[in-house]
Structure 1
C-alpha cells in the first residue's frame, strides 16, 4: 500500500505535465476504441450470420434476378428445411437521407427463417393478414416515431412510384448483435403491382433464403442447388450467409484496412508522448536515483519505481479512455444508426484497449529504465544542487 502511494505521489509530482499526458492517453485510447468499434460494426452482419442459412443468388451478380419458379426445385434438395426469397426494395422515406434497409420478402417464411427477429404473436398475425402490412425494427420505428397502425409511404428508387404500407409489427432483436433497423413487407404486394406496370420484372426475386437442417450439410446443399441450374439462363451461386455478408465487406476492404492502421498509429503517437514524459521525469530525478544507489538500492529497485510510475500514468489515462468509449459509442451509433445498425463496444475491444495502455506504459519506460540502471553514482551526484 505504501509503495502504491509513493508511485502516485511520484506520478503526480509535476501535475500539469502528468495531467496533459493522461489527457493525451485518454484521447488516444478513446480514439483507438472507437476505431476498433467501427471495424467491429463493419463485420457485425458477419458475426450475426446463422450457420443454418444459405443464400442463393444469380452467379453473375446480385443485380440480376432469379425466376420465382426456382423455389420449389430448391425445396426438393436433400438437407433443405425451408426456402424463402427477398428483393432489395431500396425505398426512401420522405428524403434521401432517411436511409434504412427495406426488403420485399416471402413474409411467413422470413419470420421462420429469422427467429432472432422477435415479433409479438398478435402483430405477426396482423402482418400476415394484411397485403400492405410491414414489419419494422424497433430502432427505425423510434427514429421516425412510427407506431402500430401507422400508414407509411416509401418512394421507390429501384421500383418507381409511391408505395403505401401499414405498420403491423415492430420487432426486437433476440441478441445485441441483431440488426433492429430493417423494414420488410410482402413480396406479393410488389409482384402484383409489377405485373401491371412492368410485366418483364414480375415473378423474379433477388435471392433465395435457404434454411438447412444442419451446418454440416451446408457445403453439400450449396453444390446440389447450383448443379440444378447449371447451363440455365440464370445460373446460381449458393453460399453461407456469412460468406454472403463477407462478399459485401470485401468491396470496402481498403477502408477497413486504413481504419485498422490509423488505430495502430494513434497508439504509436501516444507511446512517443508517454516516452517523452518519462524521459523528462527520469532526467529531473537523476540526483535522487544516485542517492538511492548510495543508500544501497539496486538498479532494479529504481527500475521498478520508474515502471510503476509509468503504469500509474498509463492506467489512469487508459481507464478514463475506456470509460468514455461506451457513451461515445452510444452517441455515435444513435446518430449514424442508418449506416451502422449494430454499434456496440465488444469485450474484445476493451481487452485491446487495456493491452494498448499496458504496451504504452512498458515501452515508454524501457529507455528511462536503461539510463537509470547505467547511471553511475558520481555522475548522478554532480546534478544535485
Structure 2
C-alpha cells in the first residue's frame, strides 16, 4: 500500500512536467489511433465483403465492359443463386467537389444480393417502378440534405449528358460498418440514353455480382464462370468480393503503408520523450534511492517504484487519448463526408493503443531503473540531483 502511495504521489512533485508528459502521451496515442482508423477505413470495403458474393469483370481490365448478354449464362452456372450487375457512373452533382459513389444497377436482382442495405418495402417498390428513381444511403442523404421525392440531377462524365433522377428511397445499414454513402439507380434508364447518343456503348455493363449458395464453392463457381467465356472477345475474371475490393486497395498500397508507418513513428518519438522525462526524475531522486537502499529496500522495490510511476503516466495519457479518439473520429468522419464511406474506430485499435501506452511506460522505465538499482549508496547520498 505504501508503495502505491509513493507511485501516485511522485508524479505530483513536478506538476508542470507531469502535465506536459501526459499531454504528449495523449497526442501520441490519439494520433496513433486516428491513423490506424484511416488505415481501417481504407480496408473497410474488403472487410465488409460477403463470403458468398463473387464479382465478375473483364479479364483485361476493369475499364473494359462486359456484354449484357452474359447475365443469363452466368445465372445458369451450377452453384449460382443470383446475378446482378452494376456500372460506375461518375457523375457530378452541382459541383465537382461533391464526390460520392454512384452506380447504375440491375434493380431488384442487385439489391437482393446486398441484404445489408435496409430499404422499406414501399420505398423499394417506388424505386423499382420509376425508371428515373434512385436510392441513396443515409450518410449521403444527411450530407446533402436529401429526402424522398427530391430531384437529384447528375452531369455525366463517363456517360455525357444531363441525367435527371428522383430520390425514391433512403437506405440504412444493417451493421455500423455498412456503406451508406452511395447512390444507386437503374442501368436501364442510362442504357436507353446510350442507345440514342452512343449506340456502341449500349448493352454493356461494368461488373456482374454473383451470389452463391455456399462460400466454400467460390473457387469452383469462379472457374466455371470464366471457362464459359474463355477465348471470347470479352474474357472474364471472377473473384470473391473481398479479393475484388483488395485490388482497389493495392493501387494505393504505398499510401496505406506510409500512414501505418507514421502511426508507429509517433509512438517511437513519444517513447523517447517519456524516457527523457523518467531519466530526469531518476537523476533528481538519486539520493532518495540511495537512502532507500541504505534502509534495506532491495532492487525490486526500487524497480517497482520507477516502473510504477512510468506505467502510471503512460496509462493516464493512453486512456485519455483513447477516450478522446471517439469524438475526434466522429468529427473527422463528418468533415470528410463521403470520402471515406465507413470511418469509425475499429475494435482492434483500442487494444493496440493500450499496448502502445504500456510499451512506452516499460521502455521509458528501463534506463532510470538500472541507474537506481546500480547506484552506490555513498555516491548516491553525495548526489544533489
TM-score with structure 2 length normalisation? 0.99
Q: Secondary structure at the match of 1:347?
A: coil
CA distance, structure 1, for counterparts of residue 65 and residue 346 of structure 2: 37
CA distance, structure 2, for counterparts of residue 275 and residue 378 of structure 1: 26
The offset of 1:294, in angstroms, is: 0.9
Alignment match, 1:176 = 176
Alignment match, 2:332 = 332
Q: Secondary structure at the match of 1:318?
A: helix
Alignment partner of 1:131 is 2:126: no
The offset of 1:4, in angstroms, is: 2.9
Alignment match, 2:218 = 218
Alignment match, 1:54 = 54
How do 1:40-51 residues align onto structure 2 when only pairs under 5 Å count?
A: 40-51=40-51
Alignment match, 1:246 = 246
Alignment match, 2:297 = 297
Alignment match, 1:205 = 205
CA distance, structure 1, for counterparts of residue 49 and residue 84 of structure 2: 16
Confirm or deny: 8 A CA contact 2:314 2:357 kept in the other structure.
Answer: yes
How do 1:1-385 residues align onto structure 2 when only pairs under 5 Å count?
A: 1-384=1-384
CA distance, structure 2, for counterparts of residue 384 and residue 52 of structure 1: 71
CA distance, structure 1, for counterparts of residue 336 and residue 109 of structure 2: 30
The offset of 1:3, in angstroms, is: 3.4
The offset of 1:5, in angstroms, is: 2.9
Confirm or deny: 8 A CA contact 2:212 2:218 kept in the other structure.
Answer: yes
Q: Secondary structure at the match of 1:312?
A: helix
CA distance, structure 1, for counterparts of residue 180 and residue 2 of structure 2: 51
Confirm or deny: 8 A CA contact 2:284 2:384 kept in the other structure.
Answer: no
CA distance, structure 2, for counterparts of residue 12 and residue 99 of structure 1: 51
CA distance, structure 2, for counterparts of residue 372 and residue 3 of structure 1: 16
Q: Secondary structure at the match of 2:252?
A: helix
Q: Secondary structure at the match of 2:112?
A: helix
Mark the runs of 5 or more structure 2 residues left unpaired by the alignment.
none
- Give the paired residue count: 385
Deviations 1:38-83, CA, capped at 9 Å, x for gaps: 0000000011000010000000111101000000000110000001
CA distance, structure 1, for counterparts of residue 237 and residue 158 of structure 2: 23
CA distance, structure 1, for counterparts of residue 187 and residue 338 of structure 2: 23
CA distance, structure 1, for counterparts of residue 337 and residue 63 of structure 2: 25
Mark the runs of 5 or more structure 1 residues left unpaired by the alignment.
none
CA distance, structure 2, for counterparts of residue 93 and residue 332 of structure 1: 23
The offset of 1:2, in angstroms, is: 4.4
For the aligned residues, what is the CA RMSD? 0.9
CA distance, structure 2, for counterparts of residue 12 and residue 320 of structure 1: 18
TM-score with structure 1 length normalisation? 0.99
